[in-house]
Amino acid sequence: MALWCLTGCQLWHTMLEQPGDRAKRLGVEGAASSGRSAQLEKKTEVFTGKVVMIDGAYRLRLLKDPDMVLRLTRARRESEFAQGQINLRKYYEKTVSVNGTLHGEWIFGADIVGQWTPPGGDTGPNMSAPKQTKP
């Protein structure tokens, strides 16, 4: 009976601990020890732009600043941006609205929330878009 009670107490303690408590208890000192970059602070903004192909890769050209060409990723850590990159092929030559946070040439934590096509334009994915030559 005593063994069951001690096991139950340990279970409750584990269930009640905060996410950072386990890392402290195990001696983990943040993201640096695991070789991953820290999660970036997200300041969500709305970006609107047209998907274009530049140097064999799909990019988002902002409507407000046509000189700014960006890549989109769902990742929230800088070391994972390329792995979480969003393939924009199906949005080629369409105007899209994206929620996310600007960081360098990336919009991270990106969600595509809308797309517009020109009057009379095809709706749905643009599967006739040229193949991407660069990842």
CATH for 76: 2.40.50
Q: Domain check: are 30 and 49 in the same one?
A: no
Q: Domain check: are 69 and 27 in the same one?
A: no
Q: Is the pLDDT of residue 9 over 60?
A: no
Does residue 40 lie within any of the structural domains?
no
C-alpha distance from residue 14 to each of 11, 31, 115 (Å): 5, 22, 45
- 50-77 residue pLDDT tens: 999 999 999 999 999 999 999 999 999 9
Position with higher pLDDT, 39 vs 10: 39
For residue 132, which of 85, 95, 67, 98 has the smallest C-alpha distance?
85
For β-strands 57-62 and 95-103, DSSP reports them as unpaired
Number of domains in the chain: 2
- 20-56 residue pLDDT tens: 554 554 444 444 445 566 777 778 899 999 999 999 9
* Overall average pLDDT of the 89-105 stretch: 93
pTM: 0.63
Does residue 133 lie within any of the structural domains?
no
Does residue 131 lie within any of the structural domains?
no
pLDDT confidence band for 109 (50 / 70 / 90): very high
Phi, psi of 79 (to 5 degrees): -70, -15
Q: Domain check: are 24 and 50 in the same one?
A: no
| Tokens 């990723």, residue located | 73
- Determine the structural domain holding residue 58 and report its residue range: 45-116
